[in-house]
Amino acid sequence: MSATDTATPGEDEVPAEHAVPDQLSLAGGFAAADRDAWRALVAGVLRKAGREELPDPVEEALRRTVATGVTVAPLYDADDAGDLPAAVGVPGLPPFVRGARAGAAPDSGVPAGWDVRQRHAHPDVAVTREAIAADLENGVTSLWLVVGEGAVPAGSLGDVLADVYLDLAPVAVSGGLPAAEALLSLVEGRTDLAPGGSLGLDPLGVHAASGEEQDLTGLAGVARRAPAGWRTVVVDATVYADAGATAVEELGCSLAAGVAYLRALTDPADGRQGLPVDEAFGALEFRYSASADQFTTIAALRAARRLWDRVGEVSGASPEARGQRQHAVTSSVMTTKRDPWVNMLRTTVACFAAGVGGADVVTVQPFDAALGLPDAFSRRIARNTQNLLVEEGHLARVLDPAGGSWYVESLTEDLAQAAWAWFTEIERGGGLVAALSSGLVRDRLATAWDARARRLATRADAITGVSEFPNPAEKLPARQPAADLHPTGGLPRVRAAQEYEELRDRADAAPRRPRVHLATLGPVARHTARTTFAANLFQAGGVETPTGDGASGFADAGTTVACICGTDGDYAESAAALAAELRAAGATHVWLAGKPSPEVDGVDGYVYAGCDALAALRTVHEQLGVTA
């Protein structure tokens, strides 16, 4: 060995401290855990929080409702999912739970991921042409045009699409038969069109929104004229989601609509044979809402494919035809007018869920959709949300990444079972047309929304920037008003934030901003939690909350309503005296943050976690003379 040689291990040798054992037990240093031990720990925490009477098993206390008849537990293990992970199959094969395709969508024109579809409804042809060009140059792969009065003029559709290479970018339209005919007049006879376009006919969706029964007999004739690889009918389930449906009602109604369309497409009409079953299945696509409840969205899309495969199996469709084509659109119900910037976060989560859930096409609504027509900036953010998830987040590299999760598989199963029960109830009632006309669908959706509305009113379902952490000084972006393109007379349209935003609007329109003086008791460390809680609640209704030590500052607050904030101990000792002092200073109404027992003399009302915040805010508005 020369003087320059060193005694180092050979290239193939592994230092002993880096050697990997044949068996690696990551939890080997810990005692074995089981569900009973976990339950004991949970029970201890709940009792410390004041829960003396606990259910058996204790995790039932932590269950949360995510859809009608469907709850999620705080913990899942292999026993919860059972044999489900093995039963869902593989992507691209029945029952299609793991996806309708085994790789890149063969009829989307998109090499990888999903079809990024942007919606356009601006009535100015020049503006829409410019917006379409910007979208297609920057990541959008297909277009969704809303055609009709107040939106893209049917007669100008050719001008709007003049610069679009229809052999590269699929086009879908909404607007009924006039929109479909306008698009057909542009593309009929062409054989070089990109697959994945849609004529967007949805007469049952019009029936649901307008309350007026529609004619389905001409669908097969239009389907025969549709270009190869295009869809004729859209089962737009968002009309039910927008009326307050949970995922269960949305899925069940979509199945009922799909079956009704299959009957219309396959039945003979006008002296002509109906379409073969496989062709009828190929004429349909389904549009679902994607919300910020990401796991429910993921599971709902997976369940929808399984359910539609079952419909196809019973209908005699071939396995190749039974894969449901899905277009996911970020939810309008979750979109807020107030603090609209938070919508960027909501739509990012919803888009993530749609991609993970296996949607073929995804539309992200611009963050300012509830304010009016989107501008170039909001459209850019909408498309870049998808670009980021696909290109930077690599979300499309793995098919069904949630598959095999005990939680997701269990939730998929629960949603599928509940939705199938609702679907069969509709069918027993005579089908979707009869269920819409009789009020069965309307009443079921109203019940579902009432349950959600109660959670919104008590802030159990929080709306960031609206019911929680509002920004009283915000300045909303100005947008050109959008025409109301939705029929009326049938199912309502709701938004989660609408009642809080109505109170904010009322407060903004008042001659003077309404105020509630927060009168603190005790040291800052003791009253901060309830002072913050009360400020958040009152500000959610557009009410300012000047704060002072006790009654000091009340006279300068410019209000007649006060709210005492402190601890239960401070309330027992001093709240009644402070209420009397506030009344002597001119307060006509005194509230208290918290719900002590017994109640405090001189206090009119209480605001506390779980109270009906909307009712409290309406009362405060009335006390301050704020009217609609």
Q: What is the predicted pLDDT for the residue at 13?
A: 73
pLDDT digits (tens, 9 = 90+) for 50-95: 888 999 999 999 999 999 999 999 999 988 888 888 889 999 999 9
On the question of pLDDT at 6 being above 70, the answer is no
pLDDT-derived band at 436 (thresholds 50, 70, 90) equals very high
Q: What is the predicted pLDDT for the residue at 1?
A: 43
pLDDT digits (tens, 9 = 90+) for 492-511: 999 999 999 999 999 999 99
Q: What is the predicted pLDDT for the residue at 86?
A: 82
Cβ-Cβ contacts under 8 Å for 139 (sequence gap 6 or more): 116, 383, 384, 386, 387
Q: Rounded mean pLDDT of 130-156?
A: 97
Task: Give the count of beta carbons closer than 10 Å to the beta carbon of residue 454.
Answer: 13
pLDDT digits (tens, 9 = 90+) for 202-248: 999 999 999 999 999 999 999 999 999 999 999 999 999 999 999 99
pTM value > 0.95:
no
User: Which of 332, 385, 326 is CA-nearest to residue 198?
Assistant: 326
Q: What is the predicted pLDDT for the residue at 27?
A: 74
On the question of pLDDT at 110 being above 70, the answer is no
Q: The tokens 């679907």 sit on which residue?
A: 423
For 383, the token pair is: 């498309």
CA distance 435 to 148: 28
CB 519 within 8 A of CB 582: yes
Three-state SS at 218: coil
Give me the torsion for CA of 525, 526, 532, 537, rounded to 10°.
Answer: 180
On the question of pLDDT at 556 being above 60, the answer is yes
Q: Rounded mean pLDDT of 555-579?
A: 96
Least confident interval from 83-87, 422-426, 589-593 = 83-87
Of these ranges, 7-16, 270-279, 346-355, the one predicted with the greatest mean pLDDT is 346-355
Cβ-Cβ contacts under 8 Å for 286 (sequence gap 6 or more): 234, 235, 237, 254, 258, 304, 308, 324, 325, 326, 327
Looking at every residue in the chain, the average pLDDT score rounds to 93
CA distance 102 to 6: 54
On the question of pLDDT at 4 being above 50, the answer is no
On the question of pLDDT at 340 being above 90, the answer is yes
pLDDT-derived band at 2 (thresholds 50, 70, 90) equals very low
Three-state SS at 115: strand
User: Which of 291, 350, 325 is CA-nearest to residue 142?
Assistant: 325
**Which residue did the predictor score with more confidence, 486 or 116?**
116
CB 366 within 8 A of CB 382: yes
* Alpha carbon distance, N-terminus to C-terminus of the chain: 96
